[in-house]
Each structure stands twice: as structure tokens, then as C-alpha cells.
Chains A and B, each alone.
Chain A
């Protein structure tokens, strides 16, 4: 499940829909901001302007008629049902003239001409007492004389509430749209990912040598169908070429190896007839060389065939333990003869998809290499185990001279032999064959620093998890 989610997350379509959703959210914020500005801020500015005009008028009145005139104006305005404003007039020690419960001025650290936002208790129009209902309001005050202060305010509860409601609605709409965007993006990308997945599986199978597989065509005639049809055309062509090559390969093997074989047969049969022991030995040597030549030819063909990959159907799910046990038993005496310590740590109960013969041959090549290159008194270790990531590994480690890091990839190529090993027998095909066998098994073949000594080499075949 988590795997699927992370796949969806990584898919291109899903990322695109996620970006679209993010852009939508961002632009909604801008629109929302504008609506807020256009409705609320402008309205509040108008109110502030009105309050300022009122204060200017009162200031003017104060300069002409003094405190009493202002007090009278405040009383008139408070009593007038058409005046929307809130007033508070404080003159010296006389009781304040006000339609406000409480006093917002002392709470405000702000000076004159600054808008104060505050909350007041609304008066009941019938009783003139507090109604228990609180409204938000804003106002300004003006100091008219050292002890004379007028405050004018306006109830803005309706405006602010309306603005908040619009804001909340927009926010919810935005969240809904973003969620829908992500969900539909996930759905579309999931569908798309499944189709792309089929192409990926096809490519993997074909790389593994299954040239009979074809891309699925849905008959919807869309771009992916076009791609599938083109791919299939290409695969048909590759398949034809492969068959032609295989046929040519078989024919060459049949035609070219026959004369070489005859050469060897005549050398061998002459050797058995010749009486002179020296001539006899020379003829056997010549026959041995012919055998070696044929062996090399055989190996090249074998690798070519493995790389052509027409043998994936040979793979079956097996526990490799008996296979590796047999090899340990086969090579243990050779190690002893070469004065090498041999340790095997072979775990049972793991499962890999493998061909016993090919697996044996690959590991046998690795063991023979280790025996060949490790000097007397050295050690070789063969292990079969499951690594921490849960993948089955076969390792052959030695404490011989090892291979320099920069050469480790190169030695897997055909006919590549390092300077140091030129004097030893061999064709330079052993590791190429291991690589070809590994590829067929979709296993990783790696060479690294030995894990049993400071010098030396560790060869690892790491198998993919078995599909159940």
C-alpha cells in the first residue's frame, strides 16, 4: 500500500496535478485577499474617514462654543435614532456623556488620530442598560483641552462578521477544490501509471531475454496505443534479427567447429598409434592445444547464447543450498591440494529463480579463479546467505592479491586479463560467463574488497527476490 502510494507520488501526472492544486490554492489566496481588501478594508476606511470628519466638526464646535456645545452635540447625536455613531464626552470631573458602557480610551495606548479597535456591550434600546451582547467597534478620540476628551466610535460588527463569513466560505471552497484536485490527480495518474507500468514490465522482460512479449494495445487509439504499436513493430524486427543471428551462430558452430574437431581427432588417433614416446607426447600436446582452442570457441558461443538470452524459461524457483553444497564438496579437495584453507557457510531455506547448471558453472568459475589466484597458505570462503535487505547472496572471498578497484569492471569483459595473470593459464572468459549467467538471472554480479582479509577479492552474486 505504502509502496503504491509512493509510486503514485512519484508519477509525473500526479506531480503535475499537485502543482496545479498548489497554483490554484495560491491564486485563490490572492483573489481572497483582493475580495477582503475591496469589501472590508475600503468600507472600514470610509468609516474612519467619517469618524475623522465628525471629530473635525466637534473640534470646530469646541473652539466656537466650548465644552457645553460639544456636550449638547453628543447628547443630540446619542438621542438621534439616525446617528450610527458611539460617543463619549469627558469634561473634567463631570460625569461622562456616553452611549458606551465602559471606557475604551484608557485601554488604548494609542494617541489621537489613531484608530482604536475595541469591543463594547450593546445597550438595550428600551432599558438603556447593557444587553449582554458584545460587538466589535472602532473609534478615535480627540483631546480638546487638558481635561476635555471626546471619543467617536462606530459599531462594525456587521461588516466584520460578513467579511469573516465570506472568508470562511472561500477558505472551505479552496480546501475542497485542492482536495478534489489531488484526488482526481491521483486517480488519473494511477490509471496512467498502470499503463506505463505494463511498458516497464515489458522492457524488463525483454532485457531478460523474453523476446516473445509484446506491449498491450487497448484499441483506444491514444498516444500510448501508438507507442505500443511502434514498440511491437520494433520488437518483431528485433526478434527476426535475433533468430537470424542465432541461426547464423548455430550454422557457424556446426560448420567451423567440425574441421577443428577433425584436426583434434586426427591428432589424437595418430598419437595413440605412434610408437615413439616423444612424438606421441608432442601429438598429445598438440591435441590438448586444439582442445583448448575448441574450449575457448565453445565458451564464446556459450556467452553469446546466454547474452542472446533465449533461456530464461530454464529458471525455476529453487533453494540454492544443495547446489552450493555440491560445489563446496567438489572444490574442497582442490583447495586442499593447492594448500588453501577452505571455509563454507551455506544457509538453507532461501529461494531464488535459477538454473542449477548455469548457477553451478558461474560459481565454479568464481571458485576456480579464487583457487588459481590465491597463493599457497591462503584462504577461500564460500558463503550463501540472505543479506540485510533480504536478498540472497552467494559470495566467494579470498585473501589473494585482489583486483585494483579501477580494474574490477573491466575484468568482466571478454578476453580481458590483467598483466599480473598473463602467465597463468586461462582465456579471460571466466568472469564474462559469470556476468552473462548473472544477467540471465537478473542477479547483480559485483567484485569488491575481500571481507576475510586486508587484501583479496570478494565476488558476489546477488539475486532478485523471487516472485511468488
Chain B
């Protein structure tokens, strides 16, 4: 993906650039809101990483200007202001996701890849398929190698979230937000417990593992 990072902290910006490049993306940097807006207009990016506190023009006003122009590029807002109301403010201004500082790079990468143009985890599909694991979103059924798997409603949503992001890392925080709608991090491994239940249902009886744990990041569903 081609990604624009708008961040005034040069060292942080450089880290993000380096990390995203290592993950195989093309990255441009902008140090302030005015420059960021110009660059976003000039080129066609697949995703934007946008800091809220910027010199010259703050992140939200830059985002609002972009959206007024009809620019629908997915935007991940970064901010030290991690409180819920700020988050809602960011999403209302047209952000696609919101990540509070301090974040781990793995979290940032997972989220940018999830919102990026080349993926569309909210696309209107009726069937999801990863290897021999299939999910019918209308009938609310899951099969693996044509064998029916019975899931609790929440397990279904958990698996759906992983399948929509198949091949990409989904972090615990993302799962908490998207499956449970919680915006805080519990102190315990509560998500791991749910994942291990899900794993015992979809992987235990089969030779190939689909649900992988990614150390320091989260989970990935992959053949």
C-alpha cells in the first residue's frame, strides 16, 4: 500500500516509516498539517496515518478539509488524547479508526492494514472463506472441510472479524473494540481465553492450524 504519515515528531515519524516499509508498504512523510493536506491532494494514497496535534493545521481540521474535497482515503488518527470523547470526535470528523498514543507499532500496522484501500473488512459479502474454513454470514453457519461447527454468537463475531482480516494480524485491542465494543484494555488475558475456545472448535480436530498467535502483536487467521 502507499501510505502517507503526517506526524510532527520526526523520530516517531521515522520509526513508523521504517516499520511500515519493512512490512512492505511505500511511505511518505509530512511534518505539518498544511504540507500533509497538499500531499494528500497531490497523490492517491491507500491510507493515511494522521497525528491529531500538528503544527500549522491540526489533524482534525486537515481531515475535515480532505473530506470536504470528497477525498475518501481511509485515515487512521493518532493521538495522545486517548479518551473516549476524543475518539468519538475523531471518528465523527471522518477518521476510519483511532489509535491512542502510546501504541505499539504492531497495533498501528495491524490497524493501517485493516483500513487500507486494498482491504475492505466491511465489504458486503455473504460468504467468507479461509482455506477449508467457510462462513455463511446470512445463514450464520460455519463449516470446516464441510463439517458443521457450532459457535456461540460472540464466537461467531470473533471468527468473522478474523476471517474478514484473513492473512493480516488482528490485535487483542482491535478484537476488544470490534467484537465487544470495549475501548479499554483489560489487565488480564481475557481475549486469549476466548481465542483458545475458538481455536479448540475450529482447529483442534484438523491437521492444519488456521488460527495463529503472533508474538507481541495478536492473532492471524491464515492457511
Contact = CB atoms under 8 A, between A and B. Distances in A.
A333 B194 contact: yes
Nearest to A261: B102
Contact of B83 (A305, A364, A368): A305
Contacts of A258: 9, 12, 80, 101-102
Contacts of B83: 302, 305, 311
A298 interface: yes
A364 B186 contact: yes
B180 A426 contact: no
Nearest to A329: B154
A265 interface: yes
Given A254-B80, A294-B102, A371-B188, A265 B15 contact: yes
Interface residues of A, number: 47
A413 interface: no
Contacts of B197: 333
Nearest to B7: A258
Interface string B103-124: 1111000000000000000000
A284 interface: yes
Contacts of B188: 334, 368, 371-372
B108 to A, nearest CB: 9
User: For the complex, would chain A's binding face be called helix, strand, loop or mixed by DSSP majority?
Assistant: helix
B9 A311 contact: no
B186 A368 contact: yes
Nearest to A311: B85
A451 interface: no
Contact of A268 (B104, B180, B186): B104
A452 to B, nearest CB: 22
Contacts of A291: 104
Contact of B182 (A297, A311, A357): A357
B31 interface: no
B15 A266 contact: yes
A22 interface: no
B186 A357 contact: no
B187 A426 contact: yes
Contacts of A287: 104, 216
Interface in B64-117: 80-85, 101-106
A28 B215 CA distance: 91
A371 B183 CA distance: 21
A371 B188 CA distance: 10
B216 A271 contact: yes
Contacts of B150: none
B216 A268 contact: yes
Contacts of A326: 180
B56 to A, nearest CB: 17
B184 A357 contact: yes
Contacts of B184: 357, 360-361, 364
Interface string A245-271: 000001001100110111011101101
Interface string A430-452: 10000000000000000000000
A264 B102 CA distance: 9
Contacts of B103: 261
A284 B102 contact: no
A257 B102 contact: yes
A331 B190 contact: yes
B15 A269 contact: yes
Contact of A357 (B84, B102, B194, B215): B84
A330 interface: yes
A145 interface: no
Given A287-B216, A333-B197, A360-B184, A269 B105 contact: yes
Shortest 6 CB-CB contacts between residues of A and residues of B: A261-B102, A254-B80, A265-B105, A294-B102, A361-B184, A253-B80
Given A258-B12, A311-B85, 14 more contacts: A261-B103, A269-B15, A269-B22, A272-B216, A287-B216, A295-B187, A298-B82, A330-B194, A334-B189, A334-B193, A357-B184, A360-B182, A361-B182, A364-B184
